[in-house]
Amino acid sequence: MSTAIHPAASFELEQATEPGMDQLLEISMGPQHPSTHGVFRMNVVLDGERVVRLKPVFGYLHRNHEKIAENETYLGSMPYTDRLDYMCPLTNNWAYALAVEKLAGIQVPERAEYLRVITGELTRLQNHACLIGFLMQDMGASGTPLMYAFRQREIILDLFEALTGARMMCNYMRFGGCRVDLPAGWLDQAKKVVAEFPRFLDEYERLLVGNEILMDRTQDVGVLSKELAINAGISGPMARASGVDYDIRKVDRYGIYDRFNFRIPLGSHGDVYDRFMIRVLEMRESVDILQQAMRDIPEGPIVDPKTKIRGFRPKPGEAYARIEGPKGELGFYLVSDGSPNPYRYRVRPPSLINLTILEDLCLGRNVADVVVILGSIDIVMGEVDR
Amino acid sequence: MVGEGILKGLAETARNFFGSYVSKDRLTTVQYPEQREPQIEATRDFPFLVYDGADWKQGMRCVACQICEKECPPKCIYIDKSKDKKPDAFGKPQFYPATFNIDISVCMSCQICVEVCPFDAIKMDVDYHLSSENRFGGLLLNKQRLSKSNEYYNAIHPTEAAAIDAQRAEEQAKLDAKAKAAADAKAAAEPKAAAEAALARKVPAQPSAGDPQ
């Protein structure tokens, strides 16, 4: 006979310490749950339908991104950054290129800056289109809204494929510019796509915005207060939906964002509905930026001729560069010791930091709301786990 | 009225449903194996090796410099350099890869190998019908399976290939011109050299001729 305490006995002990614990149900949502946007797991303690406690468990998609990058040349890490937030590879490329350029003091030619803005804003369009589709899917609107969003996303991904060669793993930016110039006819095609994008948004708004079920499911659900958003370091559309006026495109004015005329939409309630609407409004602003950028794009070189692909060794030093990714502040921190690979390479992923407040948003809500709240945070596990 | 928003949304789906019978841009899917989307020119998936001419062994551009092996981020290229040298397309004796394997189950299609190759020998393919029954050997492509002709490269990436062909033709023309100039110089030098040689022969003869003996 074993003398060890039976698991049930230890559970009883725990029950004894916390009154009412026998009424609670602990369930594990994920990592294979279809609503969790990848391999994310939540240990949820439920009192009936209500969430009493929620503990996020992640790391299922950990690929050692930072350590790989420390053993890889600077250029060799560029394709790996595509795989961080695999929905928006081009903004990841941009942030990393920006960090290396800061580290090595490389200037970017004018045309390359415009190309970066164009591809970056197209990325934002397709990321947000995808997100609102997924959010509706999480809410139970199976199929229709997601398919409309994906139809639109595919048109943008075709543009990416024609320019960079790949729909998702673009590997397009280089230190001091971009890899290839626009192919013939690309700009006209892109102008057409961007001009037709508001039509998709109008259609989407007619489809959903007045919908009573959508309002019931999203309004006053998962309210994130302005104070909490600031204290927890939330960035991107999440923070702006709570009324925090913070957009790195305006704050840092990296690249050439000071040349464009655009507004930053802000929410007032910070609930899921605001987070949904903020994305729709941001897409309209992105369309504005794209139209200005595609009108003004100059001719010229696309890459600084002084930078070399092989044997790139920046001087010892450190640099942190950040951009306004579609999900929030995406930053890369690099330390160079003068060797061909970075001494330290760190990613500041917006998804992970936006995810930290999940429990605060979910407490007291129903299980079904957890799925919706998680959907509105906009995470990609490739970036959370790295 | 409650339900008005839902009805409005349903009108939108109805418009899309009936629209798909008349408008092409509302019907975006294709019946895949029978119908296919046209290939986008810049598309890439996995690398292949380009050879000129008809014989892949003879015309291979790769000179086994191993730069791509070194620069490949996931390290999926394996090259063994040959012991001997063979003349390349320009007629210069070069090493060639004794083995050249790419494990495309590891490859992540980043095309850094293409960017670093100084010989335009490795390019990106577009063939995506790659499933194999053999998990290991089937996706480890050897030199023969990787070799594809320059005509094939021209067919899949016309703009890029034409630029490279023009560049190579220019190089070839430069080499030819150089060879011709060298030959001309040699040809021009020949009578002179012969004369000089004759003179040289004469020079020692002269003193002998002028020898008082």
CATH code for position B102: 3.30.70.3270
- For residues A214 and B3, give the distance between their C-alpha atoms in angstroms, rounded to a whole number: 11
Taking alpha carbons only, the member of A280, A206, A199, A194 closest to residue A237 is A280
Give A231's contacts (C-beta < 8 A, 6+ positions apart): none
With contact defined as beta carbons under 8 Å apart, do A189 and A162 qualify?
Answer: yes
Q: On the CB side of A138, how many CA atoms lie within 13 Å of its CA?
A: 27
Q: Kindly determine whether residue B159 and residue A183, on different chains, have CB atoms separated by under 8 Å.
A: yes
The token duo for A109 is: 């030619």
In chain B, % of residues over pLDDT 70: 89
Residue B84 falls inside a structural domain = yes
Q: Strands of B77-81's sheet, edge to edge?
A: B77-81, B97-103, B140-141
Which H or E run contains B13? helix B4-22
Residues of B whose CB is below 8 A from A154: 28
Which pLDDT score is estimated for B199? 62
Distance from CA of A205 to the nearest CA of B (A): 9
- For residues A361 and A363, give the distance between their C-alpha atoms in angstroms, rounded to a whole number: 6
| Residue listed under structure tokens 């551009």 | B61
Taking alpha carbons only, the member of B124, B47, B110 closest to residue B79 is B47
| Of residues B206 and A345, more confidently modeled | A345
- For residues A89 and A383, give the distance between their C-alpha atoms in angstroms, rounded to a whole number: 11
Residue B162 pLDDT more than 50?
A: yes
A367-377 and A110-139 helices, crossing angle to 10°: 170
The angle subtended at Cα A187 by Cα A183 and Cα A191, nearest 5°, is 155
For chain A, what's the residue count? 386
- For residues A96 and A98, give the distance between their C-alpha atoms in angstroms, rounded to a whole number: 5
Residue B67 falls inside a structural domain = yes
The token duo for A5 is: 């305490």
Residue B53 falls inside a structural domain = yes
Which pLDDT score is estimated for B133? 86
With contact defined as beta carbons under 8 Å apart, do B110 and A171 qualify?
Answer: yes
Which pLDDT score is estimated for B186? 76
With contact defined as beta carbons under 8 Å apart, do A72 and A63 qualify?
Answer: no
The token duo for A190 is: 């892109």
Helix (H, G, I), strand (E, B) or coil at A29: strand
Pairing relation of β-strands A50-57 and A177-178? unpaired
Residues of A whose CB is below 8 A from B13: 144, 207
Residue B212 touches chain A, beta carbons under 8 Å: no
Which pLDDT score is estimated for A22? 66
Helix (H, G, I), strand (E, B) or coil at B136: coil
Q: Kindly determine whether residue B40 and residue A73, on different chains, have CB atoms separated by under 8 Å.
A: no
Residue B92's pLDDT band (boundaries 50, 70, 90)? confident
CA-nearest residue of chain B to A158? Answer: B40
Give A52's contacts (C-beta < 8 A, 6+ positions apart): A24, A45, A46, A363
Name the residue facing B71 among A82, A214, A310 (closest C-beta): A310
With contact defined as beta carbons under 8 Å apart, do A374 and A138 qualify?
Answer: yes
For range B157-167, the mean pLDDT: 84
pLDDT (tens digit, 9 = 90+) per residue, A314-357? 889 899 999 988 988 999 999 998 888 899 999 998 988 988 88
Residue B175 falls inside a structural domain = no
* Mean pLDDT, rounded, of chain B: 81
**Which segments of B22-117 are extended strands (E)?**
47-51, 77-81, 86-87, 93-94, 97-103
Residue B63 falls inside a structural domain = yes
CA distances from A47 to A9, A33, A55, A367, B204 (A): 22, 20, 15, 10, 119
Which H or E run contains A351? helix A350-355
Distance from CA of A339 to the nearest CA of B (A): 15
The count of domains in chain B is 1
Which pLDDT score is estimated for A36? 67
Residue B41 falls inside a structural domain = no
Kindly tell me the burial class for residue A2, based on how many C-beta atoms sit within 10 Å of its own C-beta (0-12, 13-18, 19 or more): exposed
pLDDT (tens digit, 9 = 90+) per residue, B29-56? 888 888 888 888 888 888 988 888 777 7
With contact defined as beta carbons under 8 Å apart, do B151 and B53 qualify?
Answer: no
- For residues A367 and A110, give the distance between their C-alpha atoms in angstroms, rounded to a whole number: 50
Kindly tell me the burial class for residue B149, based on how many C-beta atoms sit within 10 Å of its own C-beta (0-12, 13-18, 19 or more): middle
CA-nearest residue of chain A to B2? Answer: A212
Residue B198's pLDDT band (boundaries 50, 70, 90)? low
Residue B111 touches chain A, beta carbons under 8 Å: yes
pLDDT (tens digit, 9 = 90+) per residue, B168-189? 888 888 888 888 888 888 777 7
pLDDT (tens digit, 9 = 90+) per residue, B135-160? 877 888 888 888 888 888 888 888 88
Name the residue facing A165 among B5, B42, B108 (closest C-beta): B42
With contact defined as beta carbons under 8 Å apart, do A275 and A361 qualify?
Answer: no
The token duo for B189 is: 């030098």
Query: Choosing among A171, A181, A217, which should be mutated to test the B contact, i.e. which has the most B CBs within 10 A?
Result: A171
Which residue intervals of chain B are DSSP H helices? 4-22, 56-59, 67-71, 112-116, 143-146, 150-156, 158-209
- For residues B18 and B166, give the distance between their C-alpha atoms in angstroms, rounded to a whole number: 51
Residues of chain A with pLDDT under 50: 1-17
Interface confidence, given as ipTM, is 0.76
- For residues B157 and B42, give the distance between their C-alpha atoms in angstroms, rounded to a whole number: 7
CA B51 to chain centre: 7
Residue B115 pLDDT more than 80?
A: yes
Residue B60 DSSP one-character state: B
Name the residue facing B115 among A144, A203, A309 (closest C-beta): A309
Give B91's contacts (C-beta < 8 A, 6+ positions apart): B175
- Residue A194 CB: number of other CB atoms within 10 A? 23
| Residue listed under structure tokens 């053993």 | A71
Residue B119 falls inside a structural domain = yes
Residue B11 pLDDT more than 70?
A: yes
Residue B188 falls inside a structural domain = no
- For residues A229 and A327, give the distance between their C-alpha atoms in angstroms, rounded to a whole number: 14
Which pLDDT score is estimated for A320? 92
- Residue A355 CB: number of other CB atoms within 10 A? 22
Domain that holds residue B134: 47-153
Which pLDDT score is estimated for A7? 47
- For residues A135 and A275, give the distance between their C-alpha atoms in angstroms, rounded to a whole number: 10
Name the residue facing B44 among A73, A166, A214 (closest C-beta): A166
Taking alpha carbons only, the member of A354, A350, A353, A313 closest to residue A334 is A313
